[in-house]
Structure 1
Amino acid sequence: MRFAPLVIATASAALLVPTALAAPAPVPATAGPATPAPPAVDKPGGRYEHGVRLAFRAERGAVVRYTLDGTTPTRHSRLYVPGVPVRITQDTNVTAVAFRGGRASVPVSRGYLVRSAEKPVARVVVMSDVHIGDYAKNTGKWASFFDTIGSVFPRPDAILSNGDMINDNGDGKGPDHAVVARIFQENLRRKGMTGTQVLLSNGNHDDSLAQIRAHYPKAWFPDAGGGFYESSVGGVPLLTLNTETYNSSTEQQNWLKKRMAELTAKSPNTPVLVQGHRPASNTVMDGQQAANPKLTADLSAFPQAVFFSGHSHLNLNDDRSVHQKDFTAVNDGSMSYVEMDHGYQAVTEEGLANRFESPTSQALFVEVYKDRTEIARVNMAADKHDIYTGGKWSADWQPPYASAGTLSGRSWTVRLKGRTAQQIKDNFTYTAAHRNTTAPVFTGRRPLSAVRDAKGGTALRIAQARDDQMVHHYRVDVTDETTGAKALSSKVLAEYYYAPLPNSLDVPLPAAAPGTRYAARVTAVDAYGNASAEVSMKFRR
């Protein structure tokens, strides 16, 4: 994920040069005497109240190259000069690789959030869809997650778990809430977060309100019977909704409107945090997997509302995860696995697959200041890993996670500027009128090449295009020039949900026949549909 726009050279828009099939690029080895160890980084990732000066250390005979844009370093990336620190002055993902001869170490990535010494009114971690069931499978995983939380907020004022703590599907798994409570309590004690509030909402996989009440401390879910309640975090009001019943619950609707009116009349430029499991209609991620149109209507009178929702598992890398029109809506991501828009394919070890899930875990780190709310997007785990292994679901991958604490995008800033509700709305930033219009750009002279894949087949290698936010997918068409038949026509995900971002994609062409001449055409597309100039290449299998 890139955190600042780049000045990029013009792409090569029509590469029609016949290309011989190349061997696959060497994959960084993980073992062997000639393979350098990963470089050491002298400062851990996390939140800092000042700029950071970094030093790397590699073993004898190796050099370190690094990137500051979330991509994987190559032999052409910036060279680290020992004794000359790398200065970090804004939110940045730093990735370093040690090179020795023709060998490269595995990459090391760290995420740095750079803030001032100004103290926020409240620090809140917002997560959802943790889906814990088995204690043994989740102890190591959640120890890592809490370590990451502690690296950003050593003592958060609150942790919001916004629904779907367990994975009940009407099959009697309500007692699994006790497992969640045990894991959370153990880690809160281990990290010294004894003053941190935990506040839960009800999700569609949480069995019942009775089961939630039965297995957590009362302070974690202090509802009065309907699954909705009011709290205060550092003096900032927090309203928890039961989105499973909101559309049909007149009592809950009246309560929300009444409390919002009272709170905003008292302090019209102070945010009111609202959490509810399901997204509100016509808000985040272009309305995908949303519900409760009545909630959208009821919050429309209150631009002070910052509504956090989960349920969809849709990733936080995508800037459609924040939406402003009449209020601010924010997608929480997921702590179990994330999803992308349906209708795309992903490159996996087994070839192209109709994949819309990745075993990536993400959360929000929210800082409320007197004049703004800062929302950081943080990966708990985003190493490259397929969610299926041997055809079986494998979301329970275990630590260590090399990507823990990396950033999945630049922070969002919510300001409530204006004397009236309409003035506040007019000053919103993340609106439809401000949607990104910058298209991705291919860099380098030859963004496409044909290679042999690990199985001896043919693959089209796409050097990742660059974008001011992220490339979402590639439109890939490969045609047999003799017959005009399609060897491949697909929309391939750009792997933006991994950290670090892979430098290229090897898209397999299973139908490629020896001696056949092919024409490949590729377009890079961002999350808003902005498309690059098409790049082309001809090659012989």
Structure 2
Amino acid sequence: MPKPSEFSRRQFLGTSLSASLGASLGASLGASMVLTAFPGKLWAAGPGTERDKELVLRCAIMSDVHFKTDPNCAEKQRLAKVMRYLQTYAQDSAHPSFDAVMVVGDMSDHGYAGELIPFRDTLLGNLPKGAQALLCMGNHEHWGGEEHVKAGGSRKNWETIFSRPANSHTVINGYHFIGLSCEKGTCKDGDYLYILDWLREQLNAAVKDDPKKPIFVFQHYHVRGTVYGGFEHDWAGVKDLRAIFEEFPQVIDFSGHSHYPSNDPRSAWQGKFTAFGTATLSYFAMEGGIFNRFPEGYQNAAQVYFMEVFKDNSVHFRIFDVLTESFFETEYFIAEPGAIEKYCYTEKRYETATTPYWTAEFAPKNSAAENSAAENSAAENSVKACAEKPKAEVSDIYAYSARLTFPQAHDTANPNTFLGSYQIKLQDRKTGTNDDWADFGEENPWSGYYFVNQPKEVSTELSSLDEGRDWRVVIRARNVFGKLSEETIAVEFQTPSDPDKYLQDRTAPYPKADALDFRVTEDGQAVNEPLAETFPHGLETCGKPVVSDGWAQFDGKNARYRVKFDRGHYARLRRQITLGARFAFDEYPVGQNGCIIANTETGGAGISISYEKKTLDFWCHVAGKYQIISAPIMPGSHSAYGTYDGQNVRFYLDGKEVGAKKASGPLTYTANDSACAYSIASDISGNYGGNSYLKGRIQFARVFTWALTPEQVKNLSPDAK
């Protein structure tokens, strides 16, 4: 990394920014560069430095704080912590304070007064002297239900609590800030259509004031097709605003909603305007699909932008980690807002990004001129590389799971910073043979790059294995732009046989549930007694279910039973599964689904009654995506079974197949340890809570570790016709 004196800010500003940081940061100063993200400490910056004398505006920017009604919630503590830090951060600076604190929506979980008022008091009561609060509504501010109805609507409720309009135009030190609130919190296109004419008027007024200054706009949803989290497959972006923003290249837009990390270089985007994705003070959410949406440690999230604007209108961003009170190496810099030809955070980064590596042999090599200017010589590359061929270790080997540990790879741009994830290819063969390896699937764990103290090793559970097999694992590093390393790490191991697999004849006409077997006994007791002793036995009672006449009665409010599982149990339910239950209900649910048995907290499977469609639904999370099969249902007594055999999802009602879908890949389960449980008469949620409560009766609920046949389902369905 160059020292400040060797690559001055003025030289940097004179450079046309156009290519990959790691490969071409050291290009001659007159040449063009492409940045994946701005290198931390490229020049001396911050309070007390020479640059500080040119600073004219400082703002802290955050999103998705998610205050709870719990007065001691982690989010409240994190907000209070960052507000205290703002008080002293620049006290010795030529510009000694923050001018604004921006919160880009979702300051609460539901928009309840019991959440918004503590947030308001924590924020406004601790604002740095002279700073203004810039706020807008997110979708969660619309979730207040009856409380909002009584208040005259969610928007009026919010405006009353904060004593300000939901949409705002504020000028601070000559710079314009425009805040937009979503109309209904639908999380869909159209939520900002009502404000477009007003937005254009405000943007025109800002340009008229000074066309060279950046215009800061903030709203909760991402603009579709811009920052990380805002693309079609990410669900968190809307298209309402893009056309207007493209008329104003000076726009620097801030959005949240996705909970994706701000230090991911894709959270900075430039096309015909500039956009930044703001992270969260609550919990990280990541891409789904092949990736784990909620990785280990995802609740340790608290990132805040520190934005500084200078006399020449250049804008610098540092990313503050509230938990450690330190800054990420990743920084962003806008040399000339509105100068599209000099934009650097463009789609070209996907083409120019270098590939990650472990050893120096595979490190990308720069030209001599580049090495000289960037201090990125082959010798330095070797320091950033593993001294020896890296090795992977396998431990905690069970019949269906194992733990894989290996060293982090490297990135020439900034060691580890841009390493997004790893591709782990799995192959297997029958133990004790020399058969060819057969492709089994892949895992894609995250690197932990969203933590300031990124772990030096990656440790991940392989939880979709099969028992009694030889395994070969091949690991490649993947950076955030999708480039895979040429270098690989490979390791082989063996899983033992599963003795529970042979507890019974799985082809028998009346098999016993081996993973979960809830029923009401003849003496009127609710029990859980699965055949396999290695699965949890017993029940936790929540609320007040009533047991009578061989059934358990549930009130649809909080009554349910819960059976806690762990990841080892779920590992045995990754290849195949059957859920079954006999239940009865007298009327359709109102306002919420009624779950019979479920563990669908971002994963899992469940059987539930849909209050909207008046159907019985089977949900099954296969390879990161829900497969849903629905069938019409009338009040009364019914038997239902859902199966997955590794190739098909099938649903049976009263002994008959009512739907099937092709699907392949492992069953996937929540990454939230506090939601690892099956819930009977509700769904599961974090902290072992419940939702979607059933008002009705359940005679039995079952989970099998394999897919039952149609004949077995019919035999085990008392309501079969």
Report the TM-score when normalising by structure 2. Answer: 0.50
1:476 aligns with 2:462: no
Aligned-residue offset at 1:252 = 2.2
Is the Cα–Cα contact under 8 Å of residues 167 and 206 in structure 1 kept in the other structure? yes
Counterpart of 2:346, as a letter, is T
Is the Cα–Cα contact under 8 Å of residues 450 and 539 in structure 1 kept in the other structure? no
From 359, 362, 365, the counterpart of 2:306: 365
1:405 aligns with 2:326: yes
In structure 2, the residue matched to 1:205 is 140
Is the Cα–Cα contact under 8 Å of residues 61 and 102 in structure 2 kept in the other structure? yes
From 433, 443, 448, the counterpart of 1:495: 448
Is the Cα–Cα contact under 8 Å of residues 392 and 491 in structure 2 kept in the other structure? no
In structure 2, the residue matched to 1:21 is none
From 207, 218, 235, the counterpart of 2:174: 235
* CA–CA distance in structure 1, aligned partners of residues 236 and 428 of structure 2: 42
In structure 2, the residue matched to 1:163 is 105
Taking a change above 3 Å as real, the CA distance of residues 447 and 162 of structure 1, as seen in their structure-2 partners, is: same
Is the Cα–Cα contact under 8 Å of residues 409 and 477 in structure 2 kept in the other structure? yes
Taking a change above 3 Å as real, the CA distance of residues 141 and 248 of structure 1, as seen in their structure-2 partners, is: closer
Counterpart of 1:431, as a letter, is T
* CA–CA distance in structure 2, aligned partners of residues 331 and 241 of structure 1: 15
* CA–CA distance in structure 1, aligned partners of residues 192 and 448 of structure 2: 41
- What does residue range 83-94 of structure 1 map to in structure 2 within 5 Å? 91=40
* CA–CA distance in structure 2, aligned partners of residues 459 and 479 of structure 1: 16
Secondary structure in 2 matching 1:135: coil
* CA–CA distance in structure 1, aligned partners of residues 427 and 327 of structure 2: 39
* CA–CA distance in structure 2, aligned partners of residues 327 and 113 of structure 1: 29
Is the Cα–Cα contact under 8 Å of residues 273 and 305 in structure 1 kept in the other structure? yes
In structure 2, the residue matched to 1:141 is 78
Taking a change above 3 Å as real, the CA distance of residues 499 and 251 of structure 1, as seen in their structure-2 partners, is: closer
Secondary structure in 1 matching 2:72: helix
Counterpart of 2:209, as a letter, is K
Is the Cα–Cα contact under 8 Å of residues 181 and 192 in structure 2 kept in the other structure? no
In structure 2, the residue matched to 1:414 is 334
Aligned-residue offset at 1:261 = 2.0
* CA–CA distance in structure 1, aligned partners of residues 135 and 121 of structure 2: 15
Is the Cα–Cα contact under 8 Å of residues 402 and 462 in structure 2 kept in the other structure? yes
Aligned-residue offset at 1:416 = 2.4
In structure 2, the residue matched to 1:437 is 353
Aligned-residue offset at 1:480 = 3.0
Taking a change above 3 Å as real, the CA distance of residues 517 and 528 of structure 1, as seen in their structure-2 partners, is: same
In structure 2, the residue matched to 1:257 is 200
Is the Cα–Cα contact under 8 Å of residues 279 and 310 in structure 1 kept in the other structure? yes
1:132 aligns with 2:85: no
Aligned-residue offset at 1:255 = 1.9
Aligned-residue offset at 1:228 = 1.3
Is the Cα–Cα contact under 8 Å of residues 349 and 481 in structure 2 kept in the other structure? no
Aligned-residue offset at 1:298 = 0.6
Aligned-residue offset at 1:330 = 0.6
Q: In percent, how many aligned pairs have the same letter?
A: 23
1:425 aligns with 2:340: yes
Is the Cα–Cα contact under 8 Å of residues 183 and 192 in structure 2 kept in the other structure? no
Work out which of the two has the higher radius of gyration on C-alpha atoms and give 1 or 2.
2
* CA–CA distance in structure 2, aligned partners of residues 248 and 477 of structure 1: 41
1:280 aligns with 2:223: yes
1:522 aligns with 2:522: no
Deviation readout 1:388-407 (Å, 9 max, x if unpaired): xxxxxxxxxxxxxxx23231
* CA–CA distance in structure 2, aligned partners of residues 492 and 113 of structure 1: 38
Taking a change above 3 Å as real, the CA distance of residues 249 and 380 of structure 1, as seen in their structure-2 partners, is: closer
Taking a change above 3 Å as real, the CA distance of residues 175 and 214 of structure 1, as seen in their structure-2 partners, is: farther
* CA–CA distance in structure 1, aligned partners of residues 116 and 103 of structure 2: 12
Counterpart of 1:466, as a letter, is H
Deviation readout 1:236-283 (Å, 9 max, x if unpaired): 111111233694666621222122123223322100111111111211
In structure 1, the residue matched to 2:58 is 123
Aligned-residue offset at 1:114 = 8.8
* CA–CA distance in structure 2, aligned partners of residues 199 and 315 of structure 1: 21
In structure 2, the residue matched to 1:302 is 248
Taking a change above 3 Å as real, the CA distance of residues 153 and 206 of structure 1, as seen in their structure-2 partners, is: farther
Is the Cα–Cα contact under 8 Å of residues 339 and 357 in structure 1 kept in the other structure? yes
Deviation readout 1:49-76 (Å, 9 max, x if unpaired): 9xxxxxxxxxxxxxxxxxxxxxxxxxxx
* CA–CA distance in structure 2, aligned partners of residues 114 and 500 of structure 1: 26
Name the structure, 1 or 2, with higher relative contact order (CA <8 Å, separation 6+).
1
Deviation readout 1:154-195 (Å, 9 max, x if unpaired): 521110111111111xxx72442111112224433xxxx232
Aligned-residue offset at 1:434 = 4.1
Secondary structure in 2 matching 1:261: helix
Taking a change above 3 Å as real, the CA distance of residues 522 and 302 of structure 1, as seen in their structure-2 partners, is: same
Counterpart of 1:439, as a letter, is T
Where do 5+ consecutive residues of structure 2 fail to align? 3-8, 10-38, 92-96, 143-153, 360-385, 495-721
Q: Which moved more, 1:261-270 or 1:118-127?
A: 261-270
Secondary structure in 2 matching 1:326: coil
Taking a change above 3 Å as real, the CA distance of residues 534 and 519 of structure 1, as seen in their structure-2 partners, is: farther
In structure 1, the residue matched to 2:280 is 334
Counterpart of 1:234, as a letter, is N
Is the Cα–Cα contact under 8 Å of residues 439 and 532 in structure 1 kept in the other structure? yes
* CA–CA distance in structure 1, aligned partners of residues 247 and 448 of structure 2: 38
Report the TM-score when normalising by structure 1. Answer: 0.65
Q: Which moved more, 1:151-160 or 1:518-527?
A: 151-160
Aligned residues: 393
In structure 1, the residue matched to 2:404 is 460
Is the Cα–Cα contact under 8 Å of residues 344 and 356 in structure 1 kept in the other structure? no
Secondary structure in 1 matching 2:122: helix
Counterpart of 2:343, as a letter, is F
Aligned-residue offset at 1:476 = 0.5
Counterpart of 1:124, as a letter, is C
Q: Which moved more, 1:136-145 or 1:159-168?
A: 136-145
Aligned-residue offset at 1:305 = 0.6
